[in-house]
Amino acid sequence: MIRGVRGAITVDCNSEEVIISATEELLNQIIEGNNILPDQVASVFISTTDDLNAAFPARALRKFPGWTYVPVMCMRELAVPNSLPLCVRVMLHVNTAVPQEEIVHVYLGGATVLRPDLGNTLAK
């Protein structure tokens, strides 16, 4: 069964080194929290806030053994008032028998998956 595993992290600046390091930290936390094996990852979706380079987080994936052929989609989010600044969001699609309600989602540095303003809109 394919499950969605989400995570997000904020960064201090739009530096390739900082963004790659933060993305690696986030992915490691997601992998460890869910005991994910490389062959379980079906695809990865990465988005960044408008002020970050969307290609930098994808480069972090090269450091994970077995992820060479995993499809990756990267995009830059549209700027929205009151959105969190300098944030990388990740969604892994994982082939696992773990029930969705037991999946561990990871949010580091005060990051969220949905921006606060969109979260309120979706709740209406």
Please confirm, yes or no, whether 74 is among the known catalytic residues: yes
Distance CA 99, CA 97 (A): 6
Catalytic member of 24, 77, 101, 102: 77
Which of 24, 25, 59, 107 is the catalytic position?
107
Q: Choosing from 17, 24, 59, 115, which is the catalytic residue? A: 115
Active-site pick, 6, 69, 76, 101: 6
69 flagged as catalytic: no
Whether 115 is catalytic: yes
How many residues are there in the chain?
A: 124
Among candidate residues 13, 62, 76, 101, the one labeled active-site is 62
Annotated catalytic residue within 16, 25, 74, 101:
74
Tell me, yes or no, if 3 is annotated catalytic: no
- Selecting among 24, 89, 101, 102, the annotated active-site residue is 89
In whole angstroms, how large is the CA radius of gyration of the chain? 14
Residue 59 among the catalytic residues: no
Q: Which of 15, 20, 26, 11 is nearest to 57 (CA)?
A: 20
Q: Which residues are identified as catalytic?
A: 6, 62, 74, 77, 89, 107, 115
